[in-house]
Structure 1
Amino acid sequence: MSTVSFDVTPPQAPGTTWRLGAELFLPAGDPPDTVQLLLPGLTYDRRYWTAPGALDYTRYAVGEGCAVLALDRPGTGTSERPPAEQVTVDSNVEAVHQVVTALRRGAPGVPAFRHVVAVGHSLGSGIALIEAARHGDLDALVVTGLLHAVGPLYPEAAPALYPAAEDALLGPAGPPENYLTTRPGRRAALYEHAAGMDPALSAYHEDTKSTVTAGEGFTLDAIYQPEVAAAVRVPVLLVAGREDRLFGGGEVSTGDAASVVAHERKFYTGTADLEAFVVPDAAHSLNVHRSAPSWYAAAHEWLARRGPAHE
């Protein structure tokens, strides 16, 4: 593992540069042709992908011979914290696009990769969708924790947030105005399926929370516009937690993969290559549940079969 950074120029703030932090994980030997770009969700940073033990997605991927870049999106983790109104869904998309370009060209400490696959969670999935639709420079998408229908817990997500400056964990770092995080204890209620959790992992989940900006919150609807998914032309794997009640349990059933594909097919009209995997005993935050390695295995089987490596 090596720590790297990327300087991006946001369209919302001409003349400025944001530095984004990341970790690059490479298997032994020569770097592979493909890199997975990991994009965490709302109130998460790159630590979502490095949960302890067998739940460490990066360790699993490297064990499969894959290269992965775990990115801290603008305003999270080790990345810079610009004014909240500048950190929107759109500025995230353009920042990610510049990272994708750097991965293809190579950058200090980062080899050049022929193929880039985005693996997102929730908001990170939505950012990857818009990036793929707008710029067409991704080779495949693994979309986790995001469907085109909300579940019964979705209305509770916004009230669960409060100023990060008031949070005992994040407040001492001095987060800017209108940076928000989850209230203590709300992550478990919204994002976890208790029967699929270990107490230590629930504690890890709480202790590694990050922020979301008001700018991101006000622009979330951009992700769900029908023209976005319709413009994606590359293979897509959808991954849903069977017990997810933010994006399941309502209009769309997460009971099995066929139901997920049947619902989402009417949105992903631009690709004929759409599959799904449902993670048992898992809610929205898939990677902190005991069953998470089941989707890691399914995603890598799918990538070997339908991703750039199969060409």
Structure 2
Amino acid sequence: MAAFMAAAALLTSPAEAHAATAATAEPSCKPYSLPVRLSDTGEATQTMWGELCQPRDRRPTTVQLLVHGGYHTHTYWDFPVGNGYYSYVRAAVAAGYATFNVDVIGAGNSSHPQSGLVTGDAGAVALHDAITALRDGSLDGQAFTKVIWVGHALGSFYAWREIPRYGDVDGAILTSALSGYNLEHAATAVANTYPAIEDPKFANSGYDTGYKTTKPGTRGSMFFYPATADPAVLAKDEELKDVVPTAQTTPAAPPYGIRVPVLLVAGAQDWLFCQGVTVYDCNDSASVRAHESGSYLPEAKLQVAMVPETGHDVALATTAPLTDSIMLRWARSVAAP
């Protein structure tokens, strides 16, 4: 992984190259509303929204399932600031992959059932249905032969539940999801949320009180590191903030049963998983890997990349080009486009 980071750093201007590629490589994208279940024995009564993007000149054989974190939507992976600079979707499509960028159940354009129903297990079942649709061609009429899970925070925790249970992906890039955390910051994070209907943005949403959102002005300190925070991104992130059902925040069991290759990516200044955490040194990827490897089987071939001077939202930091490069280099080693 150090070699991946070094290679990315040796680019003449990784940030400018990334911005130019992302801006010019306009993907072909189409939205879908996919019927999904909340339990293995239940009916497909909910709808998961997602956008399938791919190169205009070819149909890839591998699709990356992009699963956002809590209090975000699919826009996390395709952020509308910087003309593609903060778009992992554009970077992945430019590298030849297809992406299916979803809103998890209880967020964005997807269904918002009673909050208590949207447990971690329920969300995992729904995401399994999405993967099944990608693999059997029922999403758009053409089947993908390989699927790579790309998660952020809550989207990575879903992978901890879904992948051991179904074994339906070929690899996983799990960002901002480590096992150590700052207890004081975790308590602050809880205090920084309130029922979404108390927020002007969601006052008329009809959500029950179990749907939570972040209080105004709290996201910057939790999700970003000042040295790599773009003021325009901070403002847009506050505007685009979303909700999380309370039941969804129940911690997932460690990912003991994952049997496919895994790359862990995190910001070395992650407010929750790095700052003040002593069980590993976030400035040393080997230290983090030594600690995290206890939760993964040998088949995971665990690799770890810590992005310097970067906070929790790795895709929205000014270091996003480096993060994208690391993720895509690893993806190519697991499944070619």
Q: Secondary structure at the match of 1:6?
A: strand
User: Runs of 5+ in structure 1 lacking a partner?
Assistant: none
Q: 1:89 aligns with which of 109, 120, 126?
A: 120
| Equivalent residue letter for 1:80 | S
* Pairwise CA distance, 1:173: 3.0
Pairs aligned (count)? 303
Counting aligned pairs with the same residue, the percent is: 35
Q: Does 1:280 align with 2:308?
A: yes
Within 5 Å, which residues of 2 pair with 1:22-101? 22-51=50-79, 52-53=81-82, 54-101=85-132
Aligned 8 A contact 2:120 2:161 in 1: no
* Pairwise CA distance, 1:12: 8.6
Sort the Cα spacing of 1:108 and 1:235 in 2 relative to 1 into closer, same or farther, 3 A. Answer: closer
Q: Secondary structure at the match of 1:204?
A: helix
Query: Aligned equivalents of 1:231 and 1:17: distance in 2?
Result: 29
TM-score (norm 1): 0.93
Query: Aligned equivalents of 1:142 and 1:216: distance in 2?
Result: 21
Aligned 8 A contact 2:133 2:139 in 1: no
Match of 1:175 in 2: 207
Q: Secondary structure at the match of 1:55?
A: coil
Cα distance per residue 1:225-270 (max 9 Å; x no partner)? 24xx221111100001011021113123211221221111111124
Aligned 8 A contact 1:13 1:86 in 2: no
User: Runs of 5+ in structure 2 lacking a partner?
Assistant: 1-28
Cα distance per residue 1:19-72 (max 9 Å; x no partner)? 111111111223111100000111111011111231111011111111000000
Q: Does 1:233 align with 2:282?
A: no
* Pairwise CA distance, 1:103: 0.5
Query: Aligned equivalents of 1:110 and 1:56: distance in 2?
Result: 26
Cα distance per residue 1:260-283 (max 9 Å; x no partner)? 211111111242511111112211
Match of 2:161 in 1: 130
* Pairwise CA distance, 1:13: 9.0
Aligned 8 A contact 2:106 2:113 in 1: yes
TM-score (norm 2): 0.86
Match of 2:25 in 1: none
Q: Secondary structure at the match of 2:50?
A: strand
Sort the Cα spacing of 1:173 and 1:15 in 2 relative to 1 into closer, same or farther, 3 A. Answer: same
| Equivalent residue letter for 1:83 | Q
Match of 1:4 in 2: 32
